[in-house]
Structure 1
C-alpha cells in the first residue's frame, strides 16, 4: 500500500510549498482540507494563502522561520476560511523546510480553537511582542558583559520564565562559562574548561549551531546520558539550549532552565530564539565596548607619562580627558621631562582631530619632542626641530585641503588657527599646537616657547588670575623653518601656572574671552594649596567629575579633548628670586692668557664661599674645561657662572660652551700623561655635572653645593 493511501485513510493530506516558484502542490485530501477545487493540483501561493486565516498564516510563517533556524519541523494550527470569511475547519499543518521547498502534512482537528481561545492566543501574542520590545531595549542599553547577564537574568517571559540560566563561550577547542544565574557559586565548576566534543547540550549547540530542547528529565537523560549526572542535582524539569549567533558565526550558547515543565511549543521556541539572538548581539556589543575601553586604557598608558609628574620645589597636577564617542583617545597630550641641565621641561600640545590617527601622530610628536629636549636644545630649538619633524611626516602627500588651511594659518595666526584646525579633520595633513617651557625650581624662572597654542594663565599670590601674554609662532608642521621666540617669566613662591588645550577653554559654546573668564573664576575661587582639587574643579566647570586620566562617559556634551597642567612654586622650597652673582666670560683661541683671568674671576665670585676646598675645586674645574675647549676644538670658549641661594645653602652653576659638535670622551691616561683627566676630575670634584648638546654646539656644566668646612675662608 502506498504512503499516500495510508495517510488518506487517516484523514491526512500532503502538500509541498515551493518558495522559488511561488507554487503549492497538494494531493486530493489536502485540496479538500484547504477548500481548493480540482483535486490534486499545483496552485499559486496567493491562492493557498487566501484559504488561510490571516493571523494563523502569520503564526505559520513564524513557525517556519524558526524551523529554518533550528533545522526542525514547523507545526501550527491554522483555520481554513471560505469565500465569505467564515471558518470552515481547523487543520494542523506540519512542514519541514529543505532549502526553498517545504514538505509536510495537513490533518483536520475536530473541535478546533474556539473564538475565546483565539482571542486568548491574540492576547498572548501581544504580551509576547511587548516582552520582546522591552527585552530588546534593556539589552541594547547594557554596555558590559556583566550588565548583559544581569538583564538576561531579570527577563520575565510571558507564560514561562526560566529560574536558571548560563551563558557559554568558547576558548579554543573548549567550552567556557561566561556567566550564570540561579545557581549557587561554585556549582559551575564541572562545566568549566569542558572540551567541545563532550556529550553536553551546550557543546553540541556550539558545534552544530542548532538549538536543543529537553522538555523533561527523561528526555535529558535519554539524549545526554554522560552529562546527566552533572545536571540532575539542580532539580530542574526542562531545559533549552540555544546558539548565540553573530554575523552567521556561533559565538556560544545560552541555557535556559525551568523549574516547572515546559513543552516548548512553537510560540515558546520562537520567543526563546528571539531572545537568544538579542542576547548574542548584546554580548557582542559589550565585548566590543570592553575591548575598546581596554585599547583606550592601553593607548593612554603608552602616550601619557607613566608616573605622576613631579618637580622638586614645585607642585604639579595634570589631567587628560578625551572627547566622547568611539575610542576615547585623541590628539591632546602633556608631558614632564627631566633635562640634563637639572631643569625640567613641561609640554602641552594638541594635534588636530579626535581620532586614532590624531592619537598616533601625537605619540610620534611626543617621542620626537622628548628626544630633542634630551639632547639639551633650548626651547626654541626644540620646537623648531619638532615642527620640521611633523612637516616631514607630510612629505609626499598630494595637495589638498591642507594647502588652503596652511595659507589661512599664515595670514592670521590665532584666528586662522581656530578657523583652520577644526575646518577639515579629514585632511591627510595634520598640524599641532604646542607650548614648551623649561622651569628652574630654584629661581622660579620659566622659559616659554609657544607654537600657536593658547597662552598660559597665572594665579598670583593674592588670588588674582591673569592670562600671561607670550610671544608665539605658527603651529607645528606649518612651516618647517619657523622660528619660535622665547619669553622668560618668573613664577613667584605660591603662584600657580595653568597650561591647557583649547578644549578646556571653548567647550560648552564659549569663545576665548568667555572661556578664559570661566576658568579665571574657578582659579580665583579654588584652593591654591591643593592642586589636585583645583584641577578637578577646572574639569567640573566644563563637564563634570574627572579622575587623573579620565576615560569614562563623563557627559554627552564633551566637544573636544582636554589636557591641562597646573604648576605651583612651593612657598617653603628653595627660593632665589634673582641670581646673587653672575659672570659671563669669553676666552678666544687667539687669547689663551685669558684662562688665568677666568680663574681669578671665579675666585672673586666665590670670595665669601664657606668652603675653601670647594673654591679651589671650582677654579680647577673651570681651568680644565676652558683649556679643553681651546686645545681640542677650533672654537672659542664661553663661560657662564652663577651663584644662587642664601649663604650656607648656595649653589654654583658653571657652563662652558663652544660651537663644536665633538663630544668629550673618557680616556685612560698613563702615569706620566699630561692630559686626559678632565672627566675624571669633574666626576670626583663636582656635586653634579653633565653635557648638553645644543643646536649650535654643546656645553659642559657642573654644580657645587655650598657646605661648611673646617678650611672655610
Structure 2
C-alpha cells in the first residue's frame, strides 16, 4: 500500500472526523488566550485554565488572577520577555516557564503569542497558546535549555569563586554566600553553615533571617541532623522533596516545615582531607537535583571549603599577632596626679597583618611623667616584636632620669644595633604636671595636637629629628627639645598615622580632619578617645595608637615642682631649649616678677659650666616649700674646680658671672658632688 494514498471506501471514518481544533488542543494539554492590551483583559479558554491548574471561578479575565500560579521569578522573566517583544516591534514571542500547581508542585509550561499591531505599529492585541511542556521537556535537553543552563552553571561557579576570593574572614565567607547576590547566584532561598569545633558543629549562619531553630547553635556530630550526617560520612546529601526531608529528619523538619522548603543540598566542607564544617542550601521552588546540578554543588562545596580554611588560618594568624602586640603594650596605665590620661589601641582590620604601633606612660622622678607614642615600620609579627623591645628600652632610659633628647638618641642607637632592618617613628614627652611644662622630642613622627579648655584644637609644631634607627645609622643623633606649657584643662593628643592616613589622600588633609573631629568632639576625655577610634574604623584600615593627656589643676601636686635638663657642649639648641624651660617653669610657678632675674642667673651658670669644663651642664629647677616659697636653680658639671669670684677690669669680658649671681640671687653656694660640683642659687618668690 502506498503511504498517503486515498483511503479505501471500505474503511469507515469516525463521525467526528476530522477533529475540531478545540478538541485537538484540549487532548494535547493546550489552550488559547486572547489578550486585549487596551483594556488589559485576557480571555482564556478552559484548556488554557487547565494548563495553569486554575478553576474557572478563580479567574476574572485579568492576568493578575494567575499570580498564585506563577512564581515571582518566572513572572518577572515573562513580563520582561513580553515587554521586550512589544517595544522591539516583534511579531511573536515564545518562552518556557514554570507554574506552581495547587498541590505545590512545579510544572513546566510553554507559551507562544502573536502580536497584532495597528497601522502605525502600536500593539493592541496578543493572541496565543499555552501548553503543558512537562512530557516534552522530560525527554529533551530543552528542559532547561542545555546550552543556557551550562552557561548559567559556569556563571554560578565564576561569580561565587570571585566573591569568595575577597573573603578574609569567616564572616566574609558567610556574607559572600548569604547576601542577596550570593543567594541569587546559587538560586536558593537561604543558607546554613556550621563549623566543626571540638567534636561539635557550631552553627555560624542560620539561613533566612529569623529562621534560627533553638537548640541547634551547637550540635553533636552523631546527632540526626543533615549537617552532622555529611560531616560524619564526608558525602553530600541531596533532599529532593518535602516528604524525603520529613522522613529523614523528622525532628528538624517539624521546626522548619513552615518555611516551605521543597529541596535541600547539604555539602561537607573538606580541607586537607578533614571536615572543617558543612553548608546547607535550601530551596522553595525546586524539585530534585539533576546530575549536573549535583556535580556543580559538589564543586562549589570544595571552593567554599578552601576559602573558609584560608579565612580561618588568616584569623588565627591575626589573633596570634594581635595577642603578641597586646602582650607587649603596657597592661595598665599608672595613675598620674594632676593628669587624666586615656589610651587606645585598635589593631588593623582583617586582611592586613598586625603593626608596630605602641603607646606608653612612664612615671619619672620628681612627680614627672613620660608619655610615648611610636610606630615601628611594617605590618607583621616582626614589627610587633621590635616594638616590644623598643618600648622596654625606651622606658628604661626614661626611668633612669635621662633628658628627653638623650632618651630618644639612645633608643635610636639600640634599634640600629638590633638585628633588624626596621626603623621607627616616635614622640616622647616629659611632663611636669605641677608647672604644666612639657618637653617634647619628635623622631620622624606626626606633630601632636593641642586642645584648649574652650574646645579649640590646633597642631603643635615640634622640631624633629630623624626616625629611630636611621639617625644612628647616619650619625645624626641630635634631637632638639621643644618646651611648651600645658595650661590646666588643656589636652595633648599623640597618635600614630593610622588615625589620619587614608590610601590616596594627602596626610595634611587627614590631620586637618582629625583636628576638626577633636574640636567638635565631646569634652569628656573618655568619650573623645572612643569617638576618635570610631573615626579610625570609619576612615581607614591601618592599626592605630592614641594617647590623650589632660592637665587637671584641681588634682595637680602642689608641693615642690622639679625640672631637669642636660645641655651638651656645642649644642646651642640645647641651651635655647633650657632657657625656654626655665622661663616657662618660672611663670607656671608664680614667680613671674622675678622671672628675668632667674633666667639671667641660670643662663650665666650654664654658660660658665659649658665654657670651663669638658662635659655637659645639668640644670635643675625646683620649688622649695617652707615659710617662704623659693625657687632653687642648680647647675652641675664634671669639674671639681670651684669657681672663684673676682673683679673684672674695665675692658674684661669675663669674671662678671658670680658677681651677677651674688647681686641677683637671695642666696647662692657651691657643693662638691662626686666627680664634679654643683653651683646653686635661690630666689624668694614674691
> TM-score, with normalisation over the residues of structure 1?
0.49
User: Shift of residue 382 of structure 1?
Assistant: 3.0
Equivalent in the alignment of 2:270: 245
User: Shift of residue 348 of structure 1?
Assistant: 1.4
Equivalent in the alignment of 1:475: 468
Out of 437, 444, 462, the residue aligned to residue 445 of structure 1 is 437
Alignment of 1:570-609 (within 5 A): 570-574=552-556
Tell me: CA distance 1:250–1:639, structure 2 relative to 1, closer, same or farther (3 Å).
closer
Out of 623, 626, 631, the residue aligned to residue 643 of structure 1 is 623
Aligned mates of 1:175, 1:512 — CA distance in 2: 47
Where 2:415 maps in the other structure, the secondary structure is helix
CA deviations over 1:172-199 (Å, ceiling 9, x no partner): 555555554376523538x82234xx78
CA deviations over 1:303-354 (Å, ceiling 9, x no partner): 4343467533223344445666733532232211223543211011222223
Out of 549, 555, 559, the residue aligned to residue 567 of structure 1 is 549
User: Are 2:488 and 1:493 aligned?
Assistant: yes
User: Are 2:426 and 1:434 aligned?
Assistant: yes
Out of 221, 226, 233, the residue aligned to residue 194 of structure 1 is 221
Out of 390, 394, 412, the residue aligned to residue 387 of structure 1 is 412
- Checking the alignment, whether the CA contact within 8 Å between 1:526 and 1:534 is kept in structure 2 is no
RMSD in angstroms over aligned alpha carbons?
5.3
Tell me: CA distance 1:696–1:248, structure 2 relative to 1, closer, same or farther (3 Å).
farther
User: Shift of residue 206 of structure 1?
Assistant: 3.4
User: Shift of residue 203 of structure 1?
Assistant: 5.1
Aligned mates of 2:324, 2:299 — CA distance in 1: 37
User: Shift of residue 113 of structure 1?
Assistant: 7.0
Where 1:329 maps in the other structure, the secondary structure is coil
Tell me: CA distance 1:325–1:378, structure 2 relative to 1, closer, same or farther (3 Å).
same
Structure with larger RCO (C-alpha < 8 A, sep 6+): 1
- Checking the alignment, whether the CA contact within 8 Å between 2:398 and 2:407 is kept in structure 1 is yes
CA deviations over 1:243-274 (Å, ceiling 9, x no partner): 21335554233345668884432133134324
User: Are 2:534 and 1:546 aligned?
Assistant: yes
- Checking the alignment, whether the CA contact within 8 Å between 1:240 and 1:256 is kept in structure 2 is yes
- Checking the alignment, whether the CA contact within 8 Å between 2:199 and 2:220 is kept in structure 1 is no
User: Are 2:163 and 1:170 aligned?
Assistant: no
Aligned mates of 2:343, 2:485 — CA distance in 1: 21
- Checking the alignment, whether the CA contact within 8 Å between 1:575 and 1:645 is kept in structure 2 is no
Tell me: CA distance 1:527–1:572, structure 2 relative to 1, closer, same or farther (3 Å).
farther
Alignment of 1:3-14 (within 5 A): none
Aligned mates of 2:246, 2:136 — CA distance in 1: 36
More displaced 10-residue stretch of structure 1: 371-380 or 507-516: 507-516
Out of 204, 209, 213, the residue aligned to residue 185 of structure 1 is 213
User: Shift of residue 358 of structure 1?
Assistant: 1.9
User: Shift of residue 443 of structure 1?
Assistant: 1.6
- Checking the alignment, whether the CA contact within 8 Å between 2:342 and 2:548 is kept in structure 1 is yes
Tell me: CA distance 1:581–1:335, structure 2 relative to 1, closer, same or farther (3 Å).
closer
Aligned mates of 1:147, 1:323 — CA distance in 2: 16
- Checking the alignment, whether the CA contact within 8 Å between 2:192 and 2:203 is kept in structure 1 is yes
Equivalent in the alignment of 2:615: none
Aligned mates of 1:582, 1:192 — CA distance in 2: 65
Alignment of 1:16-95 (within 5 A): none
Aligned mates of 2:178, 2:504 — CA distance in 1: 41
User: Shift of residue 365 of structure 1?
Assistant: 0.8
- Checking the alignment, whether the CA contact within 8 Å between 1:494 and 1:568 is kept in structure 2 is yes
Where 2:534 maps in the other structure, the secondary structure is coil
Aligned mates of 1:123, 1:582 — CA distance in 2: 82
Where 1:546 maps in the other structure, the secondary structure is helix
Aligned mates of 1:507, 1:121 — CA distance in 2: 49
Out of 339, 348, 370, the residue aligned to residue 364 of structure 2 is 339
User: Are 2:351 and 1:326 aligned?
Assistant: yes
Equivalent in the alignment of 1:71: none
Aligned mates of 1:570, 1:563 — CA distance in 2: 23
Alignment of 1:250-329 (within 5 A): 250-256=275-281, 262-288=287-313, 290-291=315-316, 294-295=319-320, 297-307=322-332, 311-320=336-345, 326-329=351-354
Tell me: CA distance 1:174–1:378, structure 2 relative to 1, closer, same or farther (3 Å).
same
Contiguous gaps of at least 5 residues in structure 1: 1-109, 395-427, 540-544, 584-637, 660-694, 698-713
Tell me: CA distance 1:383–1:175, structure 2 relative to 1, closer, same or farther (3 Å).
same
CA deviations over 1:562-603 (Å, ceiling 9, x no partner): 544333322444377x979999xxxxxxxxxxxxxxxxxxxx
- Work out which of the two has the higher radius of gyration on C-alpha atoms and give 1 or 2: 2
> TM-score, with normalisation over the residues of structure 2?
0.51
Equivalent in the alignment of 1:362: 387
Length, aligned pairs only: 444
Tell me: CA distance 1:204–1:373, structure 2 relative to 1, closer, same or farther (3 Å).
same
User: Shift of residue 439 of structure 1?
Assistant: 1.3
Alignment of 1:221-236 (within 5 A): 230=251, 233=254
CA deviations over 1:398-452 (Å, ceiling 9, x no partner): xxxxxxxxxxxxxxxxxxxxxxxxxxxxxx5112222222212112122333434
Equivalent in the alignment of 1:604: none
Tell me: CA distance 1:115–1:532, structure 2 relative to 1, closer, same or farther (3 Å).
same
Aligned mates of 1:503, 1:327 — CA distance in 2: 13
- Checking the alignment, whether the CA contact within 8 Å between 2:153 and 2:296 is kept in structure 1 is yes
- Checking the alignment, whether the CA contact within 8 Å between 2:502 and 2:539 is kept in structure 1 is no
User: Shift of residue 492 of structure 1?
Assistant: 2.5
Aligned mates of 2:383, 2:563 — CA distance in 1: 45
- Checking the alignment, whether the CA contact within 8 Å between 1:216 and 1:238 is kept in structure 2 is yes
Where 1:188 maps in the other structure, the secondary structure is coil
- Checking the alignment, whether the CA contact within 8 Å between 1:332 and 1:562 is kept in structure 2 is yes
Contiguous gaps of at least 5 residues in structure 2: 1-134, 565-617, 639-673, 677-686
User: Shift of residue 363 of structure 1?
Assistant: 1.7
Equivalent in the alignment of 1:15: none
